[in-house]
Structure 1
Amino acid sequence: MKNTQFILGLLASLVICIAIITPASAYSLLFFNPSVVESNPGETPAVDLMMEGFDSGISGYSLYLTLDNPSVASFGEILFPAWVSMNRVVTINSSTVLIQGADLGNQVEPGIPSEKLATISIHANTAGYATLHVDPVMIDDDRHGRYDLVSKTASIVISGAGPSPVIPASQ
């Protein structure tokens, strides 16, 4: 009887340790909302950069944003949500910026399903198509870990470019 209780206690302890060490999901997702931005030349639409899967909160992030056709669309103002108490935007070249933010007030707690990281204004320069990419350098959690990330792109369609492009179903 004592051996059975000991073994059950040991198994319970092992299950708790595995639950604490193993993350709830293997990957977190970076995506744009909306995933397709339609505009006219001269306008400045905005798109939100979102993250899904804050299983361990967030302490800070550093991400590259790239527009693959800067003659069609270019970056405008980049705004951060109120929880980002420190932020920085660095222009790398005509098509890439580095954005950085930190949650010094611990406002994004573990378990939040999704959260906005930034709002990106896009200058619609001329008719055509562009793709907005996010390339994470790092996103750190509140437990001194780092998220494994999967990211999606956004399609930018500026009117006058001809027929709409075929957008893959995974977008």
Structure 2
Amino acid sequence: MKGPGYVIWLIALASLVAACQAAPVLKVGEIGEIPVGGSAEVPITLEGVENGLSGYNLTVTLSNPECAEISAVSYPAWASLHRGGEVPAGETWIEAVDVGGTAEGNRTNVDLGRITLKGVKRGPTDLVIAAVRVQDDTGTSYEISEVKTGLVVGSTPGTQAGNSGHSGSASGSSSSGPGAVATSPAPTLPEESTPAETTPAVSSPVPAAPEETAPAQGSAPFLAVLTIAALIFGSILREKKE
């Protein structure tokens, strides 16, 4: 009896060790930085599911809910039956059941869903996911450690730290002091093109050559008659004096 009992004890111990070595591990995607007002989706997976998965119940917590919030939750396609806590919130829970037995995966990892985080205020915070209950296909619970990942809520999108006012100066603006408003030059309306009035060129009058005045017709006989009359009259006066 001692021999068979010893063998059974060894088999049980080996099974226990194998079960401990095959315990699945929760994994979350890297987050990095989220801008204020921005959001990021964080995938959650369960790696090393050698005995299958019948369902899970997880808690999701933010260590600094003033900086970020859990705004939405999406479940995998295999989780036809699921439910969760209220969002948005700084802490919530998610639960899903594999009714159709489709969450077996390839015994490496199973998709558990996605958590959407939204940035609220600048500062650091941690996302902590803990397993309340994760069961294999026989209903046995896996022993799974919680997982934690850090993130930082940064500046608002489209702004730069320490940037005040406008960078550079607008064309046509000479103000450069604090509070100066860059003014754009008023739009210049296209001038209507008016046809140029063409003034006819006035040529300088060219002095005409002096015309030779010809004696009027009939003036020569008249002078001749006058000359003859004067000679006759002079002759008569000489004769009277004599």
Partner-residue secondary structure (3-state), 1:23: helix
Alignment correspondent of 2:59: 64
Deviation at 1:31? 2.0
1:31 aligns with 2:39: no
Call closer, same or farther: CA 1:107–1:24 in 2, change over 3 Å. farther
Q: Which has the higher helix share?
A: 2
Partner-residue secondary structure (3-state), 2:52: coil
Q: Distance in 2 between matches of 1:24 and 1:135?
A: 18
Deviation at 1:137? 0.7
Once the two structures are superposed, what CA deviation does each residue of 1:14-67 show, in whole Å capped at 9, x if it has no partner?
A: 999887774372422112112x33111111111011111111111111111001
Deviation at 1:91? 3.0
Q: Distance in 2 between matches of 1:40 and 1:92?
A: 20
Once the two structures are superposed, what CA deviation does each residue of 1:59-116 show, in whole Å capped at 9, x if it has no partner?
A: 1111110011111000111000101111111139942101000110101227520122
Call closer, same or farther: CA 1:20–1:107 in 2, change over 3 Å. farther
Q: How does 1:1-171 map to 2 (within 5 A)?
A: 22-23=18-19, 25-34=21-30, 36-91=31-86, 94-109=89-104, 112-160=107-155
Bigger mean CA deviation after superposition, 104-113 or 48-57:
104-113
Bigger mean CA deviation after superposition, 24-33 or 63-72:
24-33
Call closer, same or farther: CA 1:85–1:18 in 2, change over 3 Å. farther
Alignment correspondent of 2:213: none
**Structure (1 or 2) with the larger CA radius of gyration:** 2
Structure with more contact order per residue of length (Cα contacts < 8 Å, sep ≥ 6) = 1
Q: Distance in 1 between matches of 2:132 and 2:59?
A: 7
Q: Distance in 2 between matches of 1:17 and 1:146?
A: 18
- Count of paired positions: 150
Q: TM-score, normalised by structure 1?
A: 0.76
Query: Does the CA-based 8 Å contact 2:130-2:145 persist in structure 1?
Result: no
Query: Does the CA-based 8 Å contact 2:23-2:49 persist in structure 1?
Result: no
Q: Distance in 2 between matches of 1:119 and 1:82?
A: 12
Q: TM-score, normalised by structure 2?
A: 0.55
Letter in 2 for 1:115: V
Q: Distance in 2 between matches of 1:53 and 1:24?
A: 11
Once the two structures are superposed, what CA deviation does each residue of 1:122-169 show, in whole Å capped at 9, x if it has no partner?
A: 011121111000111100110221111023212121114xxxxxxxxx
Bigger mean CA deviation after superposition, 19-28 or 74-83:
19-28
Bigger mean CA deviation after superposition, 120-129 or 15-24:
15-24
